Every structure is written in structure tokens, then in C-alpha cells.
Structure 1
Amino acid sequence: MEVSVRLKIKSLYNGLSTKEQNIADYILENPISVAHNSISYLSDELNVADSTLFQFAKKLGYSGFKEFKMAILIEENNFSTTSIHEKIEIDDNELTMAQKVFDSNIKTLTNTKKILGLDDLKKAAEIISNSNLLYFFGVGGSGILAEDAYHKFLRSPAHVRHSTDYHIQLMEASLLTPQDCAICISHTGKSKETIRIAEIVKEAGAKVIVITSHASSPLAKIGDVVFISISEEIEFHSEALSSRISQLSILDSLYVILMFMNKEKSKEALSKVRRTIWDVKH
């Protein structure tokens, strides 16, 4: 299946130069304008040379800017049709509503899977594996994901920490060392609380792994490794709800990779946890 322009841009975003990121931001925010205007008009809008836009299109795998514009136009037309089709109608029955929610979540997972990068997964797993302490940070809905990840990674060889209290999170962040790392989760990547935590973590010299749905967000710019979750939304279906499916899958993937990187220690940790839980349940 052909990867969309949006997904291509998001998958490459963190490796782009500042000028290229500005172009990417403009395209993501103004796809219709890009599709319907000349390269000269757009270069004036962005204050870049025509050749810069041409090279940007080539970097995404297109033969030139004309083919790039056509891809955006087709994508936007398909997106409009899909949105109308998937929108939950007032006369939909309960089963139809549920099926549309499932379809949306499936699409979210499929799109996020497309932009996962091997290098990012390897780097993140190595950072976690080599860290003395692994902290999970998030507030609001993202805090629930952080807690779920903490619960999961307790079964791994990693030494994990998590708190639901924001003030304690701030204090924990300030105590990190260059031998530690933090996973910061925020759907928008604009949460002032999470951004501040990430800044404190960086100031302490620790590594930051970011999970967000917005590649151009302030939080994403702080991360040593950034994973982008793609949201596919329908009416009355919150973005945070849709994105959490893909974010959970990213965290599950890191957990599984870490466990396989440290098989013997993983077996030992998992065995201890299982014995303890068994004693309580039986």
C-alpha cells in the first residue's frame, strides 16, 4: 500500500534540517494551498528558493514538485471522502458505531506501523537497556499510558520509576543522572507540564525518549529518540483516545525488544513477578 504524503513527512521529520522542517510544517498545515499553488508562490510564502522545494519533494521520493502536488491533491480528496464515509451518523445503530470505532483504531495502528523506524527502535532499546533507571512521565490521559508502561516494564530487567503526582515527577526528573533515561508521553506534544519535565531531564544529562502524535511539537524537538503515533479520528472520538492505541503498541514493542535483548535477566525478572503474583492469587 502506498504511504501517504503526511506519513512520509512525519517519518522523516526529525532528520530534516530546520529549513526543511519549516517547509514540512507548512505542508502539513496547508495541504490544499500547496496542492493548488505554483512552486514560485510557495517559495515566496516560505522565503526559500524554488530549488529547495524541488529537493524537498525529491527527498520524499517524488520525481519533482508537480508529482508531489498531485499526490497531495489525491490524498486530500481521498481523505475528505473517507471522513464522510466513516463519520458516525445519528441513525447508525450501536453495532455500526462500534465497527466504525474499530475501523478507526485499526487505521491508526496501520498508519503508525508504516512510519516506525528500525534505527529509532534500536536506539531507544539500547538507551533503555544501558540505563540505570527508566522513568515514565505523562500527565492527564498520557499519565494513564505512563502508568500502564510502568506496570508492564516492572516485569523487565529495567529499574523503573513512575509517579502520578506532578510535583513528584518534577523532583524525580531533577534527580536523574546521565546514566538514566525518561520516556515522556504527550499526544499533542504541547503539554507545558511534560515539556518542562523533558527540559529538566535534558538539563540533568539523561536521555529523553518521546512518544507523541505531532512530529513538529515542542516536546518532539527535545527527544533523543521520537516515536510518532498517527491518529485517525471520527466524530465524538477524541484524538487522545485514538492515539493511545498506537502509543500503547509502541510501548509494547519497546518492552518486547528489551526483553529479547536481555533474555536471561528477563526470564529471571518475569519469574520473580509471576511467583509473587501466584502466591497472592492462590
Structure 2
Amino acid sequence: MASPIHLQIKSMYTDFSPKEQAIADYILENPSKVSHSSISDLAAELGIADSTFFQFTKTLGFSGFKDFKLALLKQENDLSAVTIHENIQKNDSELVMAQKVFDSNIKTLTDTKKLLNEEDLNAAVKIISASRRLYFFGVGGSEIVATDAYHKFLRSPIPVGHSTDYHIQLMEASLLTEADCAIVISHSGKSKETIHIANAAKKSGAKVIVVTSQANSPLAKLGDVVFISISEEIEFRSEALASRIAQLSIIDSLYVILMFHNRESAQETITKVREVILGLKENKTD
């Protein structure tokens, strides 16, 4: 199933030119009007040529304006609900502020869920299952997601690795082989450090799975499989922090699918981990 248009636009937004961003903003803010207007009327409203709007629809992957408009009409109900409780107001109570944060997180998960497809999930899990080693890479805020993934996949039957230090991550990536897999996480997909890591992993022959919020980012173009997380930015909290929740859920999904596909060996690993942790708890005296 095709991704909702507003999610396509958001995942590609940072790569648009200023004129394309103006068109994108207009579509996101006026989906119903766009779906019921002619290309000439829209172009006149935006002060651009018909051909500019036409080319924008081609950039989104449509054959032209008619194809774009038909898809938009089908998705109009979804698009009308793009803006929900995102902005915290000065007079909001503490409870309302918290509820709006929860609402934003829920929307982040819902939007990201819509972008998932079975082909990518199957491909990623097959790569991971066939890997001799699995390494997680992330810098800055994305390192938190990579660490969480490492902690989780330690319970899987696949040997895993992760370092919090960028230079060590870069060295680890360079030492991977064709039998290994790298999962590289970056919200923007434009971090030079993360791109260096992904390039090193690709050069070593390893398969690369990318988790990012930008579908057309340099990092996404390096991935054998790419997962897109969608998030909304609200005041006092960056979009990158919101995307972390979606990225964690993507990693959780890969972990659960992997464990179900390898139930017997996965159960052995889980049992070993539980036994050693339980031993620590039983020996605790304070």
C-alpha cells in the first residue's frame, strides 16, 4: 500500500528546495483545497508556474498532477487529521501539557506504523538471521537508540556488538565482513560521522540496515533496507527526540520478528541471560 502523501512529504521535506517546501507546506496545510482544485488555480495561489507544481508531484513519485490529486482525494480523511495536539499553550495545565506530549508520541508511532511494509521487514530479518555478527551504530541522540537495541539483541541468538565511542564505532565498521550486518541509526540521515560509519561498513562488504526520518538522506541511500520514522516537533522538544520513540519501536519489531523466526535458539539464549541475572538478584544482600 502506498504511503500517505503527508508522510511522504514529511520524510522528504528537508531535501526540497525552498520553492518545493512552499508547495509542500501548502499541501499539508490545505489538503482538502488541493484535492478539489485545478493545477492552474493552485499555481496561481502560490505564485508559481503550472509546470513547477507538476514537477513537484513527479518528485513525490506520481506520474503527474492527476495521479497525485486522485491519491490525495483517497487519503483526504487522513490528511484532515494531520494537526492534532502538538502545540503546548502558555495557559495549559501541567496535566494538559503531559497529555499533549503523549498525543504527539502516539501520533509519531501511528504515522511510522503506516510506513512499515512487509517486504522491508522480511528482508531485514533475513539479513539479520543470516549474519555472523550484528553491530549497532549511532552518534549523539541516536547512540541511545543503538545502545537500547544492543541491550535488547543480546538476548537473541545472533552475536551483537556496539560501542558508545564514535572512533571505536568507525573501527568496528571497517572490520565487518560480508557475513556481518550493520544497523545504522540517525534521525537526520545527514550526520557526517554516521555516514562515515555506514560507508566503512559498506566498503567492508557488510549489509547495512538504516533507520532514519529522512527518506532521501545520504544515509538512506547507503542502506540495503531502510526504515523511516516520522515525528512531529513541538515546543521545547526537538523532532529528533520524538523520532527516538518511533525508532525504538522499529528496533523492537525487528527483534520480536527475529526471535519468533528463531524460537528454539532464541529460547536458549534468553534462558542463559535470565539465569545469570536471576543469580545476581538472589545473591543480593542489601
Paired residue for 2:38? none
Secondary structure, in 3 states, of the residue corresponding to 1:184? strand
- Within 2, Cα distance between the matches of 1:248 and 1:202? 24
Amino acid at match of 2:147: E
Q: Any conservation in 2 of the 1:10–1:115 contact (CA below 8 Å)?
A: no
Secondary structure, in 3 states, of the residue corresponding to 2:226? strand
- Within 2, Cα distance between the matches of 1:211 and 1:199? 15
Paired residue for 1:98? 98
Paired residue for 2:23? 30
Shift of 1:219: 0.4
Paired residue for 1:276? 276
Listed as ranges, the matches of 1:65-80 within 5 Å are 65-67=68-70, 79=82
Shift of 1:25: 11
Secondary structure, in 3 states, of the residue corresponding to 1:215? coil
Paired residue for 1:137? 137
Paired residue for 1:213? 213
Secondary structure, in 3 states, of the residue corresponding to 1:37? helix
1:168 equivalent to 2:176? Answer: no
Shift of 1:27: 5.4
Closer, same or farther in 2 for the Cα pair 1:32/1:252, shift >3 Å? closer
- Within 2, Cα distance between the matches of 1:257 and 1:74? 31
Of residues 67, 73, 77, the one that matches 1:64 is 67
- Within 1, Cα distance between the matches of 2:175 and 2:118? 31
Paired residue for 2:200? 200
- Within 2, Cα distance between the matches of 1:149 and 1:63? 43
Aligned residues, how many? 263
Shift of 1:53: 3.7
Following superposition, which runs of at least 4 residues in structure 1 exceed 2 angstroms of deviation? 6-11, 22-30, 32-36, 40-46, 52-59, 62-79
Amino acid at match of 2:23: N
Closer, same or farther in 2 for the Cα pair 1:172/1:108, shift >3 Å? same
Paired residue for 1:230? 230
- Within 1, Cα distance between the matches of 2:119 and 2:26? 34
Q: Any conservation in 2 of the 1:209–1:225 contact (CA below 8 Å)?
A: yes
Q: Any conservation in 1 of the 2:8–2:60 contact (CA below 8 Å)?
A: no
Q: Normalising to structure 2: TM-score of the pair?
A: 0.81
Paired residue for 1:150? 150
Paired residue for 1:18? none
Shift of 1:76: 7.6
Secondary structure, in 3 states, of the residue corresponding to 2:205? coil
Secondary structure, in 3 states, of the residue corresponding to 1:218? coil
Closer, same or farther in 2 for the Cα pair 1:66/1:147, shift >3 Å? closer
Of residues 43, 49, 57, the one that matches 1:41 is 49
User: Mind listing any 5+ residue stretches in structure 2 that lack a counterpart?
Assistant: 28-33, 35-41
Once superposed, what is the RMSD of the aligned Cα atoms?
3.3
- Within 1, Cα distance between the matches of 2:115 and 2:21? 16
- Within 1, Cα distance between the matches of 2:76 and 2:269? 52
Q: Any conservation in 2 of the 1:7–1:111 contact (CA below 8 Å)?
A: yes
- Within 2, Cα distance between the matches of 1:113 and 1:150? 22
- Within 1, Cα distance between the matches of 2:22 and 2:225? 24
Shift of 1:86: 3.1
Amino acid at match of 2:62: A
Q: Any conservation in 2 of the 1:182–1:206 contact (CA below 8 Å)?
A: yes
Secondary structure, in 3 states, of the residue corresponding to 1:227? strand
Shift of 1:57: 3.1
